[in-house]
């Protein structure tokens, strides 16, 4: 009986091994995608990002009015779901719903555009500094220290003063001044990764610097980079709000959430909705990117992957 039981156990183990060997190959990205969609908060954040992005893209089509056209018969009208202006109107009678939709377009473009520039500048500098070390590391880090010596908002204001007001100039100014933190973060990750066993083994096998950085080190450094970028998006939106508030950001009459929240703040006790609605929109975007970024970090982190 014992021999028969052992034989059955052995056949069961061989069957399990055969099933394991013949199952479809799961790549890192497929495994990361499965882990991402299993994270409910990440999915909520992703859905919110998609919805807000679609609203921003379709703003010219779905907006009920022209964002610059005032309605003098409905100045400072409070929100009403049964009227022509569900979210009310501003101080000159412009429809708040229309301006919120167009504001989503500006705010999302500024947030995403600035972080693309931050990524393209900060990651290569940090990766090169962390991988090469020595004099190159010292030289690049001195450049980062010089950038840190300037207050970022003041530096953005100086760049905007030189470039002038404009939609593209805002996220250029934010991007070229906001990369230093990401560069330091990337450098720290690469310093810890360059002595890992798999990097040493790849180097011994003849892999060049480009392959080591792009194939072995950068994918394993993506988690903190992604989190930093997701937190940078609402920060860029807040910076744009400050620029627009002092009159050097998005020019009139084009709206943005940050500018709306700033310019209507003094009327919050009497016309609360004018600043509350754009502030809520900014908070929702911040939470959405935070949830999605955290889920993406967990999905891409190889240290948290489980064999399935």
Helix, coil or strand: residue 257: helix
Please tell me which of 36-45, 47-56, 164-173, 229-238 the model is most confident about, judged by mean pLDDT.
47-56
pLDDT above 70 (res 23):
no
**72-87 core/surface letters (b: 16 or more CB in 10 A; e: else):** eeeeebebeeeeebeb
Helix, coil or strand: residue 95: strand
pLDDT above 70 (res 2):
no
Cα–Cα distances in angstroms (integers) from residue 166 to residues 159, 240, 247, 249, in the given order = 12, 11, 11, 7
Q: How confident is the model over 202-222, as a mean pLDDT?
A: 80
Cα–Cα distances in angstroms (integers) from residue 295 to residues 88, 171, 227, 302, in the given order = 36, 26, 9, 13
Paired tokens of 6: 């052992």
- In terms of phi and psi (left: phi > 0; alpha: psi -120 to 50; beta: otherwise), the region of 83 is beta
Please tell me which of 31-35, 149-153, 177-181, 260-264 the model is most confident about, judged by mean pLDDT.
177-181
Domain ranges of the chain: 1-27, 39-304
Chain-centre distance of CA 86, in angstroms?
Answer: 30
Higher pLDDT, 245 or 110: 110
Q: How confident is the model over 169-178, as a mean pLDDT?
A: 85
Q: How confident is the model over 287-298, as a mean pLDDT?
A: 82
Higher pLDDT, 254 or 120: 120
Q: Rounded distance, CA 162 to CA 158, Å? A: 6
Q: Are 250 and 170 in contact (CB under 8 A)?
A: yes
Predicted local distance difference test score (pLDDT) of residue 55: 92
Residues 6 or more apart whose Cβ sits within 8 Å of residue 108: 52, 53, 56, 285
Please tell me which of 145-154, 180-189, 241-250 the model is most confident about, judged by mean pLDDT.
180-189
Q: Rounded distance, CA 195 to CA 6, Å? A: 46
Helix, coil or strand: residue 90: coil
Predicted local distance difference test score (pLDDT) of residue 7: 52
Predicted local distance difference test score (pLDDT) of residue 27: 61
Q: Are 183 and 141 in contact (CB under 8 A)?
A: no
Q: Rounded distance, CA 291 to CA 226, Å? A: 12
pLDDT above 80 (res 208):
no
Predicted local distance difference test score (pLDDT) of residue 21: 46
Reported as a pLDDT band with limits 50, 70 and 90, residue 215 is confident
Mean pLDDT of the residues in the chain? 81
Reported as a pLDDT band with limits 50, 70 and 90, residue 307 is very low
Reported as a pLDDT band with limits 50, 70 and 90, residue 202 is confident
Does 253 sit behind a cis peptide bond, omega within 30 degrees of 0 on the bond before it? yes
Least confident of 131-135, 245-249, 292-296, 301-305: 301-305
Q: Rounded distance, CA 17 to CA 25, Å? A: 14
Q: Give, to the nearest 10 degrees, the angle between helix 40-57 and helix 28-37.
A: 90
Least confident of 21-30, 100-109, 221-230, 254-263: 21-30
pLDDT above 70 (res 306):
no
Predicted local distance difference test score (pLDDT) of residue 16: 52
pLDDT above 50 (res 49):
yes
Predicted local distance difference test score (pLDDT) of residue 118: 92
Q: Rounded distance, CA 182 to CA 235, Å? A: 13
Predicted local distance difference test score (pLDDT) of residue 101: 92
Reported as a pLDDT band with limits 50, 70 and 90, residue 308 is very low
Reported as a pLDDT band with limits 50, 70 and 90, residue 148 is confident
Is 1.10.3720.10 the CATH classification of the domain at 39-304? Answer: yes
Chain-centre distance of CA 27, in angstroms?
Answer: 25
Paired tokens of 94: 């412009």
């Amino acid at each position: 009986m014992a021999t028969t039981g052992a034989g059955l156990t052995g056949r069961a183990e061989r069957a399990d091994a055969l099933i394991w060997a013949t199952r479809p190959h799961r790549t890192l990205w497929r495994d990361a995608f499965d882990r991402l969609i299993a994270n409910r908060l990440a999915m909520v954040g992703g859905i919110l990002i998609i919805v807000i992005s679609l609203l921003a893209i379709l703003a010219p089509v779905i907006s009920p009015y022209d964002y610059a056209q005032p309605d003098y018969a409905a100045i400072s009208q409070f929100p009403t779901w049964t009227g022509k202006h569900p979210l009310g109107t501003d101080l000159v009678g412009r429809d708040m719903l229309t301006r919120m939709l167009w504001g989503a377009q500006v705010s999302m473009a500024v947030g995403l555009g600035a972080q693309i520039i931050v990524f393209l500048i900060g990651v290569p500098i940090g990766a090169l500094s962390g991988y090469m070390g020595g004099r190159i590391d010292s030289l690049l880090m001195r450049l980062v220290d010089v950038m840190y010596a300037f207050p970022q908002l003041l530096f953005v204001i100086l760049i905007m003063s030189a470039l002038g007001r404009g939609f593209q100039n805002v996220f250029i100014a934010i991007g070229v001044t906001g990369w230093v933190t990401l560069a330091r973060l990337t450098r720290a990750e690469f310093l810890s990764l360059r002595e890992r066993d798999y990097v040493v083994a790849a180097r011994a096998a003849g892999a060049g610097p480009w392959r080591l950085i792009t194939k072995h080190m950068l994918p394993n450094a993506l988690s903190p980079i992604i989190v930093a970028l997701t937190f940078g998006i609402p920060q860029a939106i807040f910076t744009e709000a400050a620029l627009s508030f002092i009159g050097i950001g998005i020019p009139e009459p084009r709206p943005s959430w940050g500018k709306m929240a700033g310019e209507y703040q003094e009327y919050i006790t009497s016309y609360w909705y004018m600043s509350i609605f754009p502030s809520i929109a900014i908070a929702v975007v911040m939470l959405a990117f935070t949830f999605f970024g955290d889920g993406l970090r967990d999905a891409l982190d190889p240290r948290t992957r489980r064999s399935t």
